[in-house]
Structure 1
Amino acid sequence: MHTDNRPTRVRWTLFFIIFALVVINLIDRVSLSIAMPTIAAEFNLSPTLQGVILSCFFWAYALLQLPGGWLIDRYGPRRMITFSTFFWGIFQTLAALATGGISLLLSRVMLGAAEAPLFPAGGKLNAMWLSANERGRGAVLMDCGGPIGAALGGLIIAHLIVMLGSWRLVFAITGVATLLMSWVAWRWLRDDPAQHPEVNTAERALIAAGAQPAEVAAGPVTRGFGIAKPMLMAMLTGRAAWAMMFFGLLTWGPSYLAHARGFDLIAIGNATFIIFLCGAVGSLSGGFLLDALVKRGMKHGRALKGLLAISGTVALVAFLSLPYLRSPIAAVAVLCIAAFFLMWGSLYWSLPALLTTKEKMGLAGGAMNMAGSVGGIVVPLLVGIMLQLGVHYDSIPLFFAGCSAVYVLGTALIGIQQRAEVTTCITVR
């Protein structure tokens, strides 16, 4: 263990690994969305069945969030992240062997089950490894892997399918890469800074100095999640609405670009890359801005809710304007703006550490991620049904505008009150 008086920076290496896992996670998820026009033609899938297959990932993913959160609190994030990464690599590889819509659906359900613990475990590591004035950056460093993975996935998957001439081979390649990352997770991650051989005393002291947040949820606290019921419902509603926009873009965005804007596969990949890259930049900027505002003395809750309100309002305006834009380039530009501000919603991952106790963070993070997963289940199905009923692709952004309004409202109802700073030491095991 290092004994230098200067704090080591192992905590940021750890979060870079979490970031890399999330990037690969989203590449694996978006691979189906990018390949769907090709797969739909090969398997003769209707729009409704496409929506079911795009949605089915979230069936097991949502159902296992609460059990996954409980397992994280019981067995630790390191074990659960390693387990998750290994098995989602297995099922991503098996998807390459699909022979029709049903076998593809089953592989996606199992993929969702395997991926369930990743984000709640990352949220718990945020609380265990970062001081209060670093958690905004930690939350967005983890979550911005989502749009970066979607961006890279859109670009890489589209070009690989064209270059290799086989979506199956591309799925197998991404699955094997995921399996390799499971070893990296086990090798480098630790549940407690005191357990990591590279962390010195100064870094442990820095983390411990701000281990407890200075704000807590207002109102009586529920036993189950450690958060007052009205605050819990508001958080879940806001997160679900946010997820419907993000996963709506992720699942139906490529088809929207193809059918409403006339893009071919390469153009879809390029546009998806640009849109979600803007989202990644937005995610990072939101985290740094939140930490800067808190450092300047603004109350954490006020700064967080203000940034989330801006996020939802800009997304609302962007989606409302899309049906009136004739230029495909202008439409992509507006989607880039929407993605940039929408990804300030990554700051939601700072809420479990802010609103509940260390012992309940895995469960609270699982509940929040379950709400997002429900949004991920609902949105592909609803869009598929709307298209099947004759709604034109040009009108779909209006549905996402409604989701933006719910996102703003849910976030506004999360009440956070200031209390005295409480400092605790990290347990040495």
Structure 2
Amino acid sequence: MATKSSSFGRYLAGVYAAMYVGYMGYVSTRKSFSNVMPFVVEEKDVSKSDLGFIVSSQMVAYGISKFSSGIFVDRMSPRIMIAVGLFCCGILNLVFPLFESTTVYAILWFINGLTQGFGWPACAKIMKQWVTPAQFGTYWSILSTSMNVAGVLGPPLSIFIASSYGWEYCLQIQGSAAIVISVICFLVIRNSPSDVGLEKISTDTGGKVKTDKEVTGEDTVWDIVTSPFIWVIFVVDCVAFGVASGCIDWSQLYLIQEIGLSPELSSTFVSALQLGATIGSIAAGYITDRQIAKHGIQARGSARYPALMVFMFLLTLALHLLVFWTDKESPRLWILLIGFVIGGGTFGPVALLGVVAIEHSPAHLSGTAHAIAALGPNVGAVLAGLPLTAIANSYNWAGAFIAMEICSAIAIVIIGLTWNIPSKIGRKDIKTE
């Protein structure tokens, strides 16, 4: 007869694997059109502005949906949200090639963006129920690599299928696969251990005995919104992801136009950045989980703060070295190392801050807390666009990267100033008898 621990392990493995593959399906159906755009341009009278309109419509909807879904997931079944959202993404990919109008394409991709936002907040909510605080960062970071895996495999597979059978068939294959995966997610994923008759995990590593009121939860959305700690997370998350977006989008132009590097080396710099992002995310989760296991969820600050400070310091240093200590004669290894550190220095904090927002919030409002924290990267991505290019127009690309370095340094100061502020997001003080 199976023990409770072995049963728990089997269920957790199944739930986690389904979420991993499921989110790969989300990313695949999100980027499916972008991956085949060269083939669409060849066959149809579609301008660059038309393509930008279609893609932008999806990203605007995705930002709106991801934030609102983080709030709705506290009131709905995250398992159903994952399955239904992915199913709808699959259907939209199936019907997309059946039309000819650019306007219809934009409408369909706007709806796709709305359904895309269901996935990640629901995954975060489920992990909160299945994983202990001392493991949460590692599990979260590894799950986030599903985006990288889909991002690496998607483009070459899409190009192969589109060149062999047509871009329409490529989208329909991805749509069909997403529908199948959505059914698997619905059948395998469970919202919490109690759904399969297992005991709920302890969400407190500090040894405090929770009262009945704490278990049921009296907090409201207003308690989350008025927490200073959630807005510290928001600001630092905004800076980290804003710098990440700025470096991914504009570093090649900076390295080619102002440093004088070759396009090949400049593109390799971005690849090194992506590699650093993947390793940095996993390392950040694993290292800080050990601190959580040792110190627990603290009432002031976070046991993950020291590592967060180190990552942000490395990011600031790497940006400084890129602008002031890198030129056309710099060794290739030096340039790639800077890219690697920038990747880890940005995505490590992004991974940590999402975890901190969830673990310091009450379970029944963890989705709302994560939605506010996740809004920071969306704002950062917007700021890395037009505002950063405006700085580049006035002070060249070096000025834009110096601006990112200054923002990163300011984030370090914010972390230092808020090191010991109360960090129980929205959690009211409840006296135990």
**TM-score for both structures, normalised by structure 1:** 0.75
The structure, 1 or 2, with the larger RCO (C-alpha pairs under 8 Å, 6+ apart) is 1
Q: Percent identity?
A: 17
- Aligned partner of 2:212 in structure 1 is none
The structural deviation recorded for 1:119 is 1.8
- Aligned partner of 2:408 in structure 1 is 404
The structural deviation recorded for 1:189 is 0.8
- Aligned partner of 1:339 in structure 2 is 343
Provide the C-alpha distance between the structure 2 equivalents of 1:243 and 1:154, rounded to a whole number of angstroms.
23
| 373, 379, 384: which one aligns with 1:379 | 384
Q: How does 1:16-415 map to 2 (within 5 A)?
A: 16-29=17-30, 43-45=46-48, 55-93=56-94, 105-153=106-154, 156-157=157-158, 160=160, 164=164, 170-196=170-196, 201=198, 204=199, 207-208=200-201, 210-212=202-204, 214=206, 223-226=221-224, 228-248=226-246, 262-263=262-263, 275-297=273-295, 301-323=301-323, 324-326=326-328, 331-344=335-348, 345-382=350-387, 397-398=401-402, 400-405=404-409, 407-409=411-413, 411-412=415-416, 413=418, 415=421
- Comparing 325-334 with 351-360, which one deviates more in the overlay? 325-334
In the superposition, relative to structure 1, how do residues 298 and 230 fare at CA in structure 2: closer, same or farther (>3 Å)? Answer: closer
Provide the C-alpha distance between the structure 1 equivalents of 2:230 and 2:52, rounded to a whole number of angstroms.
29
The structural deviation recorded for 1:146 is 2.9
Q: Secondary structure at the match of 1:190?
A: coil
Structure 1, unpaired ranges of 5+: 423-429
RMSD: 4.3
Question: Match of 1:368, as an amino acid?
Answer: A
Structure 2, unpaired ranges of 5+: 209-218
Question: Match of 2:408, as an amino acid?
Answer: S
Provide the C-alpha distance between the structure 1 equivalents of 2:164 and 2:254, rounded to a whole number of angstroms.
25
Provide the C-alpha distance between the structure 2 equivalents of 1:180 and 1:311, rounded to a whole number of angstroms.
39
Q: Deviations over 1:78-131 (max 9, x none)?
A: 011112212223344555568687555444432321111222212211221112
- Comparing 378-387 with 224-233, which one deviates more in the overlay? 378-387
Provide the C-alpha distance between the structure 1 equivalents of 2:16 and 2:410, rounded to a whole number of angstroms.
31
- Comparing 292-301 with 55-64, which one deviates more in the overlay? 292-301
The structural deviation recorded for 1:271 is 6.9
Provide the C-alpha distance between the structure 2 equivalents of 1:239 and 1:69, rounded to a whole number of angstroms.
16
- For the 8 Å contact 1:148–1:276, the answer to whether it is kept is no
- Comparing 409-418 with 183-192, which one deviates more in the overlay? 409-418
In the superposition, relative to structure 1, how do residues 212 and 302 fare at CA in structure 2: closer, same or farther (>3 Å)? Answer: closer
- For the 8 Å contact 2:231–2:373, the answer to whether it is kept is no
Question: Match of 1:175, as an amino acid?
Answer: G
Provide the C-alpha distance between the structure 2 equivalents of 1:215 and 1:104, rounded to a whole number of angstroms.
54
- For the 8 Å contact 2:233–2:357, the answer to whether it is kept is no
Provide the C-alpha distance between the structure 2 equivalents of 1:162 and 1:331, rounded to a whole number of angstroms.
35
In the superposition, relative to structure 1, how do residues 376 and 291 fare at CA in structure 2: closer, same or farther (>3 Å)? Answer: same
Question: Match of 2:194, as an amino acid?
Answer: A
In the superposition, relative to structure 1, how do residues 321 and 278 fare at CA in structure 2: closer, same or farther (>3 Å)? Answer: same
**TM-score for both structures, normalised by structure 2:** 0.74
- Aligned partner of 2:216 in structure 1 is none
The structural deviation recorded for 1:132 is 2.0
- For the 8 Å contact 1:78–1:186, the answer to whether it is kept is yes
Q: Secondary structure at the match of 1:73?
A: coil
The structural deviation recorded for 1:404 is 3.2
Question: Match of 2:319, as an amino acid?
Answer: F
The structural deviation recorded for 1:26 is 3.5
Q: Deviations over 1:345-375 (max 9, x none)?
A: 2122222332221121122122222332333
- Aligned partner of 1:425 in structure 2 is none
The structural deviation recorded for 1:376 is 3.4
Q: Return the index of the structure with the highest Cα Rg.
A: 2
The structural deviation recorded for 1:391 is 7.7
The structural deviation recorded for 1:61 is 2.3
The structural deviation recorded for 1:287 is 1.1
- For the 8 Å contact 1:161–1:167, the answer to whether it is kept is yes
Provide the C-alpha distance between the structure 2 equivalents of 1:36 and 1:126, rounded to a whole number of angstroms.
35
Q: Deviations over 1:219-254 (max 9, x none)?
A: xx8752536432222122222223323444566678
Question: Match of 1:146, as an amino acid?
Answer: M
Q: Secondary structure at the match of 1:191?
A: coil
Provide the C-alpha distance between the structure 2 equivalents of 1:50 and 1:287, rounded to a whole number of angstroms.
37
In the superposition, relative to structure 1, how do residues 5 and 68 fare at CA in structure 2: closer, same or farther (>3 Å)? Answer: closer
The structural deviation recorded for 1:174 is 3.4
Q: Secondary structure at the match of 1:75?
A: coil
- For the 8 Å contact 1:58–1:374, the answer to whether it is kept is no
Equivalenced residues, count: 402
Provide the C-alpha distance between the structure 1 equivalents of 2:241 and 2:110, rounded to a whole number of angstroms.
18
Q: Secondary structure at the match of 1:224?
A: helix
